[in-house]
Amino acid sequence: MINRDHTVIFIMGTSGTGKSTIGKLLSKELSLPFFDGDDFHSKEHIQKMASGVSLDDDDRFGWLTRLNELAKNQLITNNCIIACSALKEKYRDLLSNGIEKNVKWVFLNGSIDQVHERLKNREPHFMPITLLKSQFDIIEAPNNALQIDIGLSPEEIVHLIKEEFLNKAVFGLIGLGVMGKSLSLNLAKNGFKISIYNRHVSGLEENVALNFKKEYDVLSDALPFDELEGFVNSLQKPRKIMLMVNAGNAIDMVIENIIPYLSEGDILIDGGNSNYIHTKERFDYLKSKKIHFIGAGVSGGEEGALNGPSIMPGGDKDIYKVVQPFLETIAAKDENNLPCSAYIGNEGSGHFVKMVHNGIEYVEMQLLAEVLSILKATGNNLAQISTILKSWKLGSDSYLLDITIKILRKKDGEDWLIDKIMDKAGNKGTGNWATIAAAQLGVPSTLIASALFARYTSFYKEDRINLQKKYGKEHIGLHLDLLNDEVLNAYQFSRIINHYQGFNLISEAAKTYKWDLNLSEIARIWTNGCIIKSDLMRTMVAILKETDNILIDESFVKQIKSLKPSANHVISQCIMNELAIPCFSEAVNFLNNFSTANSTANLIQAQRDYFGAHTYQRIDDDTEKFYHTDWK
């Protein structure tokens, strides 16, 4: 078995850049075995090159596979150094296949004139100088390598490699709030040497990183900082830095402050709940400065960040590959032990998907709040309600259902704690953004809007108190005649509609913004680590491989038809008893509207044409021609 603490250093570059020389010197300095890739070419291919003919991809496949096997075998017991040209990205992918987390790259880089001059003075070699141009024609500079100018002396190059790989951290994290600290601990316990930074504010935030390091043994190798220049210089190139600061101006301030210390090719990862539009702007801005930017949604709260969150990274796919080993290592694992982190798409798509995740979360939370209202109104106390909800876990288990049960069982002295909590529900903006995005895209994500406005309504506490007095709502629930199973069915029905609307919003955004998003893969990374993980989400993984619209999947069609009568009954009972259930009722209203082939929207369009000459189309004309009528 490969030891995850062992490393293979691949020294790459064209012929004549000094790979073998540097490999041997570094081997001596570090007391590590060195292998020259040239020694693993077949005789046939050596003869081919010696005759002046370049190897093609098929020729290289066996050679690269042998070097990959060599690296794997060495990593069982040793660190090692391997010299190999590795000119293309796909060659490097093959070399690192299965050992991505154990590989470091050194790219010896020089101009064709520099290398040509060196080859003229090199000892006889099967690679003729005439093939040099063919190598420069196909070389693809790596994003994840330490690049070193071959104009430096061999001793200077070896010193640089040692300094980068032995003394510097592999990953940096800025912002040591709750999430930042938890992610730092997660990275450290997974064997990554990290640098951690928190700003210095006299009298308020002093020595935060240093004190955090002292608090946990797992951070013994971490490098703590409260000044940016030292923090940035402590990281291996290309630097990989995760920003865990508040969304908005705080992110922009950190970016502006850190830019002077960054180098071309460094990577910033925004792990906060940033607006996807701003992520796109930052992506373009930093691209102009040759700095890479990834917007990565992170879900799971403090516990998830510590033990394995769901991560939704968006940006350039090649750049994602550089940070992929870190994100996938710290992510939660699904039922097949695959990481709940996957490349989402370009630009701000990662943060868009996280925004929709939070929108779905808003609805799931509101539905459980409405369940509480209904079950209380049918005469159950909190202990009984928690028992009822526990029985629901068998077929409708979810993280939010589980924590709701625990919340309802928590006491404050002799009283239930939930009864002492002010009924004002806050929000941090993602539900608002999701509602705005749905409106801008013209997508009927009605449940997210209903859940958001329910939170806004909750903040009008004094108005609600006064209006209850005005409208005499003193005996709510005395006439509810509902079975617990009916409430469960209505809950399951509403959750299906919620998940349809959420994934439909993602699907429509992908079409508009030309993002190539995989809905099934998004569902998969939401099956663990995140707030909306559930049995329903696991079911959706396979279904979304076949269709983007779960409402036309036969298994869901059958289920919805079975559940809807209960939903209708629950909602009618609640309305007749003046019990507010905005998301339950909207779920039914939406499906009733969405499954009506011929609606009364024709009247609305006629009204628009009457007062604004907005025109209309006719159902008896399939040419899609627009008409206007003089209604007067």
DSSP letters along 585-630, please? HHHHHHHHHHT-SS-THHHHHHHHHHHH---B--TT-TT---B---
- Residues annotated as catalytic are 354, 361
Dist CA 300 CA 321 (whole Å): 23
Contacts of 350 by beta carbon, 8 Å cutoff, 6+ apart: 276, 279, 294, 295, 296, 297, 312, 313, 314, 315, 344
SS3 (DSSP) at 553: coil
SS3 (DSSP) at 564: helix
Exposed e or buried b per residue across 500-539, where buried means at least 16 C-beta atoms within 10 angstroms of its C-beta: bbbbbbbbbbbeebebebbbbbbbbbbbbbbbbbbebbbb
Dist CA 201 CA 208 (whole Å): 10
Dist CA 421 CA 425 (whole Å): 10
Contacts of 608 by beta carbon, 8 Å cutoff, 6+ apart: 614, 616
Dist CA 432 CA 356 (whole Å): 10
Give the strand pairing for 415-416 and 411-412.
antiparallel
Report residue 330 CA to chain centroid gap.
12
SS3 (DSSP) at 73: helix
Exposed e or buried b per residue across 318-349, where buried means at least 16 C-beta atoms within 10 angstroms of its C-beta: ebbbbbbbbbbbbbbebeeebbbbbbbbbbbb
Give the strand pairing for 267-270 and 240-243.
parallel
Low-confidence ranges of the chain (pLDDT < 70): 1-4, 122-128, 473-479
Phi, psi of 478 (to 5 degrees): -70, -20
Within 460-564, strands assigned E span none
- 36 strand-pairing partners: 83
Q: Show the tokens assigned to 487.
A: 């409430």
Question: In whole numbers, what is the pLDDT of the chain averaged over residues?
Answer: 92
Phi, psi of 314 (to 5 degrees): -130, 150
Q: Show the tokens assigned to 607.
A: 């009204």
pLDDT number for residue 548:
95
**Which residue segments constitute the domains of the chain, with CATH numbers given?**
8-166 (3.40.50.300), 168-347 (3.40.50.720), 354-513+549-594 (1.10.1040.10)
Helix (H), strand (E), coil (C) string for 303-342? HHHHHCCEEEEECCHHHHHHHHHHHHHHCCECCCCCECEC
- 333 strand-pairing partners: 339
CA dist 244 to 67, 77, 218, 268, Å? 39, 36, 20, 11
CA dist 432 to 16, 358, 441, 532, Å? 58, 10, 14, 18
- 195 strand-pairing partners: 172, 223
Dist CA 374 CA 581 (whole Å): 9
pLDDT number for residue 135:
79
Contact yes or no for 283/345 (Cβ under 8 A): no
Dist CA 217 CA 608 (whole Å): 68
**CA 359, 364, 367: angle at the middle one, nearest 5?**
125
> For the chain, how far is it from start to end, CA to CA, in angstroms?
84
Dist CA 80 CA 71 (whole Å): 8
Concatenating the DSSP letter of every residue in 522-550 gives HHHHTSSSSTT-BHHHHHHHHHHHH-S-G
pTM: 0.88
8-state DSSP, 239:
P
Q: Which long-range contacts (CB under 8 A, 24 or more apart) does 246-254 make?
A: 246/272, 247/272, 247/273, 247/274, 247/275, 247/278, 247/429, 248/274, 248/278, 251/278, 251/282, 252/282, 254/174, 254/175
Cis link prior to 444 (omega < 30° from 0)? no
Query: Torsion-angle region of residue 242: left (phi > 0), alpha (psi -120 to 50) or beta?
Result: beta
Dist CA 201 CA 380 (whole Å): 51
Sheet holding 292-299, edge to edge: 223-225, 194-197, 171-174, 240-243, 267-270, 292-299, 310-314
- 372 strand-pairing partners: none
Give the strand pairing for 223-225 and 292-299.
unpaired
pLDDT number for residue 477:
46
Give the strand pairing for 240-243 and 171-174.
parallel
Side chain identity at 217, as an amino acid letter?
D
Dist CA 322 CA 269 (whole Å): 11
